[in-house]
Amino acid sequence: MRRPLPHTVLLLIFASAPAIAQAPAMPPRPTTVWVPVEEPMSMLLNGGHRIVSAMGPSFTVERGGKYVVCEIRSAAGMRGTPETTSTCHRLS
């Protein structure tokens, strides 16, 4: 029959084990501020913005170094709306 090891022996075993280094804490990530834009994407494009990227229903438009991200919701689809709409936000 085996006898359990005394607590002092266990402490010596754990004390002699190599220390596990902890990763340094990550700095806090800065927040991105999204400011709602009242104009639809069509007005932005007609006002001089240009499309710089597109992925699915999302577009990034730019004018003078300022960026706006728009999401297009096409007419009909699952909601059955009669017109295409957009929601845009300026990166601030």
Confirm whether pTM is higher than 0.75.
no
Q: Where are the domains of the chain?
A: 33-92
Q: What is the mean pLDDT of residues 64-84?
A: 84
88 membership: H or E segment, kind and range: strand 85-91
CA neighbor of 39 nearest in space, from 31, 27, 48: 48
pLDDT reading at 77 higher than 80: no
Judged on CB neighbours under 10 Å (0-12, 13-18, 19+), 90 is: middle
pLDDT for 69 equals 97
Beta carbons within 10 angstroms of residue 70's beta carbon: 23
> Of all residues in the chain, what percent carry a pLDDT higher than 90?
48
Q: Which residue has the tokens 């699915």?
A: 56
Task: State residue 8 phi and psi, 5-degree precision.
Answer: -65, -35
